[in-house]
Structure 1
Amino acid sequence: MTESRADRFVRELTDLKIPDPAAGRARLWLRTGIALMAAGLVLALSAYFLSHGTKNPLTQRDAITLALGGVAASVVGSAIFLRYSLTEFLRFWLARQSHDLALLGDRLAEKEIHDDDIVSATR
């Protein structure tokens, strides 16, 4: 039975049995990034409405400070989300590159053996 290249790749990845000790932590940071993005957006919007709902300059300045904090929270949340969402993709990409390079090395080694057999047979 012939096994497709993708099936063989998946099988070899499961054969490695390398546990990821930080899998739960990565999900936690991913969710934290999403929560920070959402909380920052809500904070900035509520500060906007707070600053436009009053004529008191002290309250408006407090609202500006809250809005800047909300924007900062959104930026930090976006960076955390981006970092941890790309981690899984890059880990898979690295495993695939390693697998492809191993196959290339095996093919080159087989070709060298075959070429050596041809050279020794012609002598």
Structure 2
Amino acid sequence: MGQDSQELARMENDANNPAFLSAIHSEPDNLALQQLLSHIPLLHQENNKAREEYLKLLPKVLFGSIEDSDYLYQCRQIISLALVHPAFPHEDREKLKFWLSRLEEKMPKQLLREMELLLINHTINYDP
């Protein structure tokens, strides 16, 4: 197994390890934000304990980072990833939608418009 695949396997293991996720609570919000962005996509759908840790971490990171406009886009990315992730059931998605609406209240209108345009461009140019 190559170094890249070993790194990916380690990240996947971490993404599904409630103890690893719990340790992220002690990291500064900007580092925790990066950890979440790289680990949420690797969460296994059936891993409820890890999902619960993500749900504990998300509000801390989102609303700790929201005061710094440099992190608003990344906060929105995290919520978007969680909203489409099959590990998060409907009840969780309702919380996520609420958090997204709170986040969008804080975002400058220009940044929201730029993000919408990026999403539209990505959708138009998407070729599976």
Give TM-score, length-normalised by structure 2.
0.26
Higher relative contact order (CA 8 A, sep 6+): 1
Greater C-alpha radius of gyration: 1
